Structure 1
Amino acid sequence: MAGRIREEDIAEVREKTRIDDVVSQYVTLRNAGGGSQKGLCPFHDEKSPSFHVTPARGFFHCFGCGESGDVISFLMKIDGLTFTETVERLAEKAGVMLRREEGDARDERPKGPQRQRLIEANRVAQEFYAEQLATPEALAARQFLSERGFDQTAAATFGIGFAPRDGEALFKHLKGRGFTQEETVEAGLVAIGRSAYDRFRGRLLWPIRDAPGDTIGFGARRIFEDDRIEAKYLNTPETKIYKKSQVLYGIDLARREIARSSQAVIVEGYTDVMACHLSGVGTAVATCGTAFGDDHARVLRRFLHDHEEFRGEVIFTFDGDAAGQKAAIRAFGGDQNFVSQTYVAVEPDGLDPCDLRIKKGDAAVRELVARRVPLYRFVLANIVSKYDLDRADCRIDALRESARLVSSIRDRSKVDAFAREIAGMVGVDVDEARAEVRRAANRKPGQDPRAAAAEQPAAPRSAVPDLRDPRFSLERETLKLVVQHPMTIGRATSEIGPNDFTHPTYRAVWELVAGAGGPGAGANDPGWVTRLRDAAGEPAVSSAVSELAVEPLKKEPDAAYVAQHVFALMELTTARRINAIKSKLQRTNPVEQAEEFNKMFGELAALEAHRRMLRDRLAGPAQ
């Protein structure tokens, strides 16, 4: 019985295999000086590269996790191979004939087919399927490709094939090539019912390859109406070599371009990957029957230069429908897996890259990627668009939902930037957005915002802010003038209205004043404060009038002091209105809603002019 592989043959395999060539199939390496190369470690998650490869010595070492070894130990760990399987795999590629010691030395091969045999079975299957695509039986498959703009050259580039409807065609072919039934089943190519039968029958097939280019599975598309399996797509089941959570379709073709450009484009299907590559977007990949997850992110990061020393781009493409928006939110939840900037590209007409290429050509696909927008902005805009931001209560709801999403991200360094984005979209103060994000972060998962507020004993049950909150100091000081010195403030308040007061209690006080005839009505009325208090229907408003009447002003009021407060209050109101219109303009399509867009743009210009006038009036008396 043959025993261990001879040591001199193992040494020859090591000598003829460049470790940097092998490692670079899994990790993007850059020169680090001194004959060393470095990249992100594939064995642990890191943001700064600490994984070094020294080709001259055939050795790798990670200064982060401590993993080290030669090319054989690298492949054993990253692909889960035994020593023997690894040597056999490398020997085949290096052209080394392996010899074994005679005797009954213990063979370390695991039970069941070796990994290399499973890869070989998938390789033979891919070649068989590709040949079948040219047969008369595959006419429907060729028509499917042609209708989507893929010719024979494209099919050959991507290795596309056709599975005959005969349920044993591949199985018989594999048996003829020396594969056992156990190997074909373990490879995911054959299933067992009453007897062995081909897993894929009468379907168009895409070979799914790992980064080095080995076929490890297939994606099969339904093309015949009488196909008994109604699922549009079938994929290879989980095997020793095919793990769908770690597989990206197209990575074998895209990995070098991803490394060169530090950009990865994630699409939703096989035909979308094809359309992108044929249109000049050679960085496109897709998941295989599952959502993009953490393991997929780790695979991409190996090639992206995705570390703190260099930031690339990860661009997701989604349909513009509800499902696409959900996918975007799911991707946003994994945004922190990347140091790279994350973007989203959505075609306005809702077309995926394949349909876009058919209808508008290759340039349109490239333009789709070029028009990408930050992922966080897309997700937040979708949330905000559900609410009528012209209503105060809806702005609060939009703020709360946006804050909940932002508070869930793990990368705290991004929170402040997202809070600023929320403030601009919703039309609220940045500090208010930050505060809501903090409150959302402190809530229990799934807890209603109102229930969370009720659990905080230090906070009042009402949502009304503290009257002495610095945000409302200008409103408070202006009302103190109105209550204490109605004669002095007099006509200066003629342009003030309820909307100049953002605190609900202060607004209610102003409405009392307006209802009593305005500040001028209290000029010679010794019972002015009493009249306002008596007219208040709520204890909080009556109490506020009393406070405003007794709290000292910051200085003895004169015309300049009055102007400083009245014009500043009006200027703040104008600024809020400007922000609200800018926010609405961002949500308005200038082509499809041209009339509304132009009207708002005109209103914005008028408000900006009014704001400049108020600033001039504010500065005038102070000179």
Structure 2
Amino acid sequence: MTYARIPESVIAAVLRSHDIVETVGKYVHLTKHGKYMKGLCPFHSEKTPSFTVTPEKQIFHCYGCGKGGDVIRFVAEIEGYSFPEAVKTMAEQAGIPVSWSAPSAGPSPVDSARDKLREAHELAAKFYHYLLLNTAQGREAMAYLRSRGIGEKLIDRFVIGYAPKGWDTLAKFLESRKFDLGLMEKGGLLAAKQDGSGFVDRFRGRIMFPIWSRDGKVIAFGGRILGDGQPKYLNSPETPLFAKSRLLYNFHQARPAIRKSGTVVLFEGYMDVIKAWSAGVANGVATMGTALTPEHAAALRPHADEAIICYDGDAAGQNAVLKTVPLLERAGLRVSVAMLPGGLDPDEFIDKYGPEAFVRETLEHPVSVTKFKLIYLRKTIYS
């Protein structure tokens, strides 16, 4: 049996080259139980281990969520890859030549759709970026970004853009380039009209933040509304490309700095990551409208030994710290907390006190989890 266009001999060579205990152990703390290895499942939240690895059979299985398979399937699930993408990545890691191709047939319909969605997202990011920098429609958004301390270097670095208020600006742009608008709706770029007569832009009147996959491809967007309106931030929905419970914003750019320092700084939002980058913090990532998940923590563990949580200084942010700590600790990371005064968030702190003060007074002197809990308890009692 073969998978897509990959020779069975290549799949077998990849399986021989990657021991499942060693591979899973990069993401999950495993302990030996007879013939099995056990740990907390990285695919769902649990307190009692139900995730097992069987070295003899080179397979994994979770009795809680039901996920299971060989080492290739594990990497595909944990990294958000398709099966062919996982094989290709693991083959390259093992030095196995990546030279397979379809002898006559083209890509499968599923692969072809994913490729078109990736192409459309990359094009949309460039389109939004152009509209922000070069059109009258983008002037208000540019003025807002400048007022928040976001200059053109940061705009270019993070490919920030603007989605106009018109109903179908992106829809017309994609249609003119022969994209299937029904597929674009499934990919989260467009939304179907209620009367079924066509499609409109999902994002309108918003500053646009591209969201990248781990290998640096645009696969989704976050949009911040200009002026009043709800929701303040709107993210792409779950799509064949994007699962927000597994992906961290800016991970593709932060990964080299995370690996070099052994430390990841965890923020709550796009602006915090971007402003921290301007302060020289290149190892910052953020969740996207969701609390940290076991999948997020598992994705960080192969690259970092330590996590510094830098959430908002208000009550909601500090409550979120308490929920985040155990997930990171279960993944095997040392955890500390950067404290922000007066209920400020990192973005506000940098604006008020400057980037040097942010690094010097918060990130360079985080407190231990125990000290954070004592401070939190004291505030709770006396507030």
TM-score computed with the length of structure 2 as normaliser: 0.75
Shift of 1:336: 3.0
Q: Whole-Å Cα distance in 1 between the matches of residues 55 and 315 of structure 2?
A: 45
Q: Whole-Å Cα distance in 2 between the matches of residues 84 and 261 of structure 1?
A: 28
- Report the count of equivalent residues: 337
1:219-618 counterparts in 2 under 5 A?
219-225=222-228, 229-304=229-304, 312-367=305-360, 368-387=362-381
Residue matched to 1:109 = 108
Q: Deviations over 1:329-383 (max 9, x none)?
A: 2223435323222111122233222222222222112121112101232123221
Shift of 1:116: 2.4
The answer as to whether partners of 2:314 and 2:344 remain within 8 angstroms in 1 is no
Residue matched to 1:570 = none
- The answer as to 2:28 corresponding to 1:45 is yes
SS of the aligned residue for 1:277 comes to: helix
Shift of 1:97: 10
Residue matched to 2:44 = none
Q: Whole-Å Cα distance in 2 between the matches of residues 299 and 170 of structure 1?
A: 33
- The answer as to 2:172 corresponding to 1:172 is yes
The answer as to whether partners of 2:29 and 2:331 remain within 8 angstroms in 1 is no
The answer as to whether partners of 1:133 and 1:161 remain within 8 angstroms in 2 is yes
Amino acid at match of 1:338: A
Distance 1:46-1:267 versus aligned 2 partners, 3 A rule: same
Q: Whole-Å Cα distance in 2 between the matches of residues 257 and 75 of structure 1?
A: 24
Distance 1:72-1:108 versus aligned 2 partners, 3 A rule: farther
Distance 1:275-1:235 versus aligned 2 partners, 3 A rule: same
Residue matched to 1:592 = none
The answer as to whether partners of 1:85 and 1:115 remain within 8 angstroms in 2 is no
Residue matched to 2:150 = 150
Structure with more strand by fraction: 2
- The answer as to 2:82 corresponding to 1:81 is yes
SS of the aligned residue for 1:355 comes to: helix
The farther-off stretch of 348-357 and 184-193 is 348-357
Taking only aligned residues, the RMSD between alpha carbons, in angstroms, comes to 3.9
Residue matched to 2:216 = 213
Residue matched to 2:34 = none
From the CA coordinates, give the structure whose radius of gyration is larger: 1
Q: Whole-Å Cα distance in 2 between the matches of residues 128 and 244 of structure 1?
A: 23
Q: Deviations over 1:527-582 (max 9, x none)?
A: xxxxxxxxxxxxxxxxxxxxxxxxxxxxxxxxxxxxxxxxxxxxxxxxxxxxxxxx
Residue matched to 1:563 = none
Shift of 1:177: 2.5
Shift of 1:157: 0.3
Residue matched to 1:537 = none
SS of the aligned residue for 2:156 comes to: helix
Distance 1:122-1:320 versus aligned 2 partners, 3 A rule: same
- The answer as to 2:131 corresponding to 1:128 is no
Q: Whole-Å Cα distance in 1 between the matches of residues 27 and 297 of structure 2?
A: 13
Q: Whole-Å Cα distance in 2 between the matches of residues 321 and 375 of structure 1?
A: 17
The answer as to whether partners of 2:297 and 2:328 remain within 8 angstroms in 1 is no
Q: Whole-Å Cα distance in 2 between the matches of residues 99 and 235 of structure 1?
A: 36
Q: Whole-Å Cα distance in 1 between the matches of residues 5 and 212 of structure 2?
A: 29
Shift of 1:288: 0.2
Give ranges in structure 1 of 5+ residues lacking alignment. 24-35, 51-60, 305-311, 389-623
- Moved segments of 4+, more than 6 Å: 68-73, 84-87, 94-97
Distance 1:152-1:348 versus aligned 2 partners, 3 A rule: same
Amino acid at match of 1:213: G
Distance 1:163-1:317 versus aligned 2 partners, 3 A rule: same
Q: Whole-Å Cα distance in 2 between the matches of residues 291 and 73 of structure 1?
A: 23
Shift of 1:325: 2.4
Q: Deviations over 1:239-296 (max 9, x none)?
A: 1111111121111111111111111111111110011112111111110001112221
Q: Whole-Å Cα distance in 1 between the matches of residues 27 and 235 of structure 2?
A: 29
Identity percentage over the alignment? 29
Q: Whole-Å Cα distance in 2 between the matches of residues 191 and 284 of structure 1?
A: 32
Structure with more helix by fraction: 1
Q: Whole-Å Cα distance in 1 between the matches of residues 309 and 57 of structure 2?
A: 31
Residue matched to 2:41 = none
Shift of 1:112: 9.1
Distance 1:73-1:243 versus aligned 2 partners, 3 A rule: closer
The answer as to whether partners of 1:345 and 1:371 remain within 8 angstroms in 2 is yes
Shift of 1:140: 1.4
Q: Whole-Å Cα distance in 1 between the matches of residues 353 and 375 of structure 2?
A: 27
Q: Whole-Å Cα distance in 1 between the matches of residues 180 and 277 of structure 2?
A: 37
Distance 1:40-1:301 versus aligned 2 partners, 3 A rule: farther
Residue matched to 2:204 = 201
Distance 1:317-1:62 versus aligned 2 partners, 3 A rule: farther
The answer as to whether partners of 1:132 and 1:162 remain within 8 angstroms in 2 is yes
